[in-house]
Structure 1
Amino acid sequence: MSINDNILIKIREMKDSLTPVEKLVADYILENLEDIPHLSIKSLAQLTKTSDASVLRFCKTMGYKGYRNFIVSISASIGSMDEEQRDQYTDIQPGDDLSIIISNISRNNSKSIEDTLSVIDKNEIARAVKVLCDSNRIVFFGIGASGLVGIDAEQKFSRINKMCHTYTDGHSQLTAATLLGKSDVAIFISNSGSTLEILEALEIAKKNGACIIAITKYNKSELADKANIVLSISTPELTIRSGAMGSRIAMLTVIDILFAGVASSEYKHVKKYLSKTHDIIASSKHRR
């Protein structure tokens, strides 16, 4: 179960990986939100030029046993949305005033975190925290902006004396994956879930018996399909002008959650490491 369950966000995130018929249903729902709670399954099928069976398959794809449960969830999601939540992400526009840029980027980042709470599964977080606590070694894999998230994760987990490292290029990732064992955890970070280098390293890590955790967009992807644990994020639908800002913020939030979860679970054991690392950094600042 998601932390702040919102089926509308799940539909938005999932629609690009749906079948053509399911996408017809998804697009119609997102474009006609106010009408959906009042439609029968037959009416929705007619309006989307599909069939009752197709609508029902769509509901099951989104995790619901039947149409009635799906509609109840739609109604709840619509009812919980205020005007600010209905706003879409805002892309960078040529000539934007600096005050507008500050407002838009701040809102986009906040929305990425908020929407991620609607797609990430609390039970999967709990499973991830447990395997990280029990792990011999943690290895992070990421390319580009996702690699930067891995570097942040390494810095955090090192503070509590976890043996960990981040690999951010294809060749080193293949080498690292080859040396993983059954007591190790491999965390693969990829927004798309289809980055070639990531998938190649994943295959090797999986064959070696490492537990695979994926941090990736809520979507159907090869990475999500092959991982043992999937931690989904929600990302804005923007153009290339914005780069990976929204996804990076969402991924960093997931890393923070995992770190805090592990540190809290093992607090008696890791408290001394947190104190030592805090003290050495503080004393270093005073010497400057």
Structure 2
Amino acid sequence: MLKGGLISIQETMPSLKPSERKVAEYILTHPSEVVNLSVQKLAKRTQVSEATIIRLSRTLSFKGFQELKLRIAGDLAQFNNNTHSYQEIQTNGSISSLITTVSHNNVQSINDTLSVLSPEEVEKAVAVLSGARKIAVFGIGASAVIAQDFKQKLTRINRWCEAGFDFDTQGTISANLTAEDVAFGISYSGRTKDVIHSMQIAKENGACTISLTKFGSNPVADLSDINLFTSSLEKSIRSGAMSSRISQLNVIDVLYLGMTSQHYEESIEALERTRKAVQVSKQTD
């Protein structure tokens, strides 16, 4: 079942043009009504042109208004069967409720990401990462944790990976990339200046660029040949850094296993070698 229409609108709302935002707000307020409207009727009710609605659908990476309606209908069906909202963390709540709330939000973030993560883009990413001479991973702050996790995983399967967690290191790595390499920029907002700068240099050097950001147009995604999107729509800023991290790590796991499966035998051999090396190191401590 197609879904992800409402989530895509919510994620993209801040970057929409005024006329597109007017339509988006109407859809979010009246989703059940919109799935039964033609583009002409929706244009009349929102007092915009039909072209604006088509443009909004394309901005959301859908083929047209019909696909947007199908995805909204899928969302509504899912909402009827599940609790589909983020829960606020109460500072005076019990430990039991804290466990439930945090866990629910993390699961929700992964489920929402499934609605905006394109299998075709994932397939492209796995292919170029698997064939790259060198993989450069960039992340600042919380995104550095994601970048470090990917670097560690790639090292285990004997992939040449360099990770940059600050402006100077990222710039230095980018300057030495070639058309045989991949630059992977991780930034939930897609607006981290250091990552943008590094991706620009990598692109100028001919490297393939991949982004992992929240859904929608943003500088890091716009610089990338391949866009991987995640979603985390909870209202609390504090909880946002947690569940968005979980959804990003989930995408990293998908990429890692995709690469491993493409070169299964050599990956297993590399994993076994590194496992033994770590074991020997621990035994001699």
TM score, norm. by length of structure 1 = 0.91
In the alignment, is the contact (CA less than 8 A) between 1:37 and 1:75 conserved in 2?
yes
Match 2:69 to one of 65, 68, 71: 71
- In structure 1, the residue matched to 2:39 is 41
Structure 1 residues 48 and 237 mapped into 2: Cα distance closer, same or farther (>3 Å)? farther
Aligned sequence identity (%) = 38
| Runs of 4+, deviation exceeding 6 Å | none
Residue pairs, 1:1-288, within 5 angstroms: 5-85=3-83, 87-284=84-281
Question: What residue identity is the alignment partner of 1:181?
Answer: T
Whole-angstrom distance in 1 between the partners of 2:280 and 2:85: 45
Aligned-residue CA RMSD (Å): 2.1
Structure 1 residues 170 and 49 mapped into 2: Cα distance closer, same or farther (>3 Å)? same
In the alignment, is the contact (CA less than 8 A) between 1:180 and 1:210 conserved in 2?
yes
In the alignment, is the contact (CA less than 8 A) between 2:7 and 2:112 conserved in 1?
yes
* Deviation per residue, 1:169-188 (Å, 9 max, x gap): 11111111111122111110
In the alignment, is the contact (CA less than 8 A) between 1:236 and 1:246 conserved in 2?
no
Whole-angstrom distance in 1 between the partners of 2:182 and 2:199: 11
**What's the secondary structure of 1:117's corresponding residue?**
helix
Question: What residue identity is the alignment partner of 2:27?
Answer: I
State which drifts further: 255-264 or 35-44.
Answer: 35-44
TM score, norm. by length of structure 2 = 0.92
Structure 1 residues 223 and 56 mapped into 2: Cα distance closer, same or farther (>3 Å)? same
Instruction: State the Cα distance separating 1:283 from its structure 2 match.
Output: 4.8
In the alignment, is the contact (CA less than 8 A) between 1:135 and 1:183 conserved in 2?
yes
In the alignment, is the contact (CA less than 8 A) between 1:92 and 1:241 conserved in 2?
no
